Amino acid sequence: MKSLARLFVVFCACNALALIALAGPESLPSGKEMKEVAPIAPSCDYSWTGFYLGVNVGYGWGDADTKFDPLPQPGFSASEATTLHPDPDGVLGGGQIGFNWQWHRLVFGAEADFQGSDMDGTEVVSPIIDATGAPRGPDTFWSAHERTDWFGTFRARIGFTPLCRLLVYGTGGFAYGNVHYSADTDFAPKGSFYPISIDNTKTGWTGGGGLEYALTHHWSLKVEYLHYDLGPQQGTVFEHDPTGGVSTSHRVHYDWNTTADMVRGGVNFKF
């Protein structure tokens, strides 16, 4: 009986060793828990390459310094040259369309935008001071006004991505806009006056920069600063009298600046 028991024990041990050999070393307990290795996340799951369009809203403020130059000098003794500052400001808003192409961390692109503008400014100074330093009367005045009705740009963009979904860029290019200018040198109520009004679509340049952050694979938010310069606007007007007559003996030459700065925020949809 004991012999049979020994044979049974030997038989079981041999079968156990065979099963272990067939299963391999993986079946052997290590005494330590095996840790699962997490999959490696991609370095960036977003690309800026593609067409996009969007809308924006912002605030602008301009430099519309207006020089008044009475002519001829020194024969025109009513007033010396002076400068008013009808610097416009106001809300603006519009839309943009563009294309980006990403190469590693660099992003190259082009964008066009068009804005409606509420930028408006007026300055009135009274009384007029003549060349001798004496006031000409309480009702006399200089006035200058500038209003930007709309403007647009065509710009190149170049930037880099310090973070996967963050784009930091500079931009610059062509600017254009419709601007209304007006001014008057008025020796009211019985004296002469020199009114002028000009409505002109002007061209110039723009430059600036911004930040854009991609919320999803299609939607992004941006904030942007731009400066534009549409150049000076000049005009000369002859003397008008209260009866409606015009005299060519005296005139006033006006010279306006047309520059502005703006900050705007926007949202883009990338196709």
- For the segment 144-175, what is each residue's pLDDT rounded down to a tens digit? 999 999 999 999 999 999 999 999 999 999 99
Whether pLDDT at 220 is above 90: yes
Could you tell me which residues come within 8 angstroms of residue 200 by beta carbon, excluding any fewer than 6 positions away?
A: 178, 179, 181, 233
Binned at pLDDT 50, 70 and 90, residue 4 comes out as: very low
Residue 81: predicted pLDDT: 80
- The whole-angstrom distance between residue 161's C-alpha and the CA centroid of its chain comes to 19
Segment 204-221 mean pLDDT = 98
Judged by DSSP in three states, 20 sits in helix
Residue 208 lies in a domain: yes
Q: 66-71 and 82-84: which strand pairing? A: antiparallel
What's the domain range around 243? 47-270
| 129: DSSP letter | B
Percent of the chain topping pLDDT 70: 82
> 243 versus 183: which is more confidently predicted?
183
Residue 43: predicted pLDDT: 78
Residue 250 lies in a domain: yes
Residue 100 lies in a domain: yes
Binned at pLDDT 50, 70 and 90, residue 26 comes out as: very low
Residue 42: predicted pLDDT: 59
Residue 159 lies in a domain: yes
- Among 163-172, 208-217, 234-243, the least confident range: 234-243
Residue 17 lies in a domain: no
Binned at pLDDT 50, 70 and 90, residue 10 comes out as: very low
- Among 43-47, 173-177, 213-217, 218-222, the least confident range: 43-47
Count of domains for the chain:
1
Token duo for residue 79: 């007033």
Whether pLDDT at 95 is above 60: yes
Residue 18: predicted pLDDT: 40
CA distance 226 to 66: 23
Whether pLDDT at 131 is above 80: no
CA distance 247 to 89: 36
- Please tell me the pTM assigned to this model: 0.81
CA distance 121 to 260: 12
Residue 236 lies in a domain: yes
Segment 196-210 mean pLDDT = 98
Binned at pLDDT 50, 70 and 90, residue 19 comes out as: very low
Residue 252 lies in a domain: yes
Residue with tokens 């010279």: 255
Binned at pLDDT 50, 70 and 90, residue 25 comes out as: very low
Segment 257-265 mean pLDDT = 98
Best CA proximity match to 60, nearest among 88, 96, 84, 86: 88
Residue 3 lies in a domain: no
Q: What's the pLDDT tens digit per position in 65-83?
A: 999 998 887 667 666 789 9
CATH number for 117: 2.40.160.20
Binned at pLDDT 50, 70 and 90, residue 189 comes out as: confident
